[in-house]
Amino acid sequence: MEESHEEITWRKSLPRVGQTIRSRKDGTLWRVMEKREVWQNIEDYPETGEPRMIPAIYLSFWKIEEGAMPGVGKMVGEVYTLYDDTFKDHWEVMK
């Protein structure tokens, strides 16, 4: 079965736009501002050398700071695929 963008969101428990997440590194709070379906380049096909791409999810986060309007200030963006665990390693979704 080929992976899909929906499967990435579900299996990796990625947050929805508007949800708050906490950095596991320093405890700062961030809000998910954007979620986009994208394609990530991976190693070329070994037999043919043709390029390959897999589905991925791009999330952008805004650092919540007291007194700052949403979207103004520090922002970061990351791409997540089925083949990495970087979201759960770096972030915790706030309930």
At 2, the pLDDT band (50, 70, 90 cuts) reads low
- pLDDT over 90 for what percent of the chain? 72
Q: Which of 39, 60, 42, 38 is nearest to 52 (CA)?
A: 42
Mean pLDDT, to the nearest integer, of 38-46? 88
- pLDDT tens track for 43-56: 888 888 888 899 99
* Domains in the chain: boundaries: 5-93
Which has more pLDDT, 68 or 90? 90
Would you call 62 helix, strand, or coil by DSSP? strand
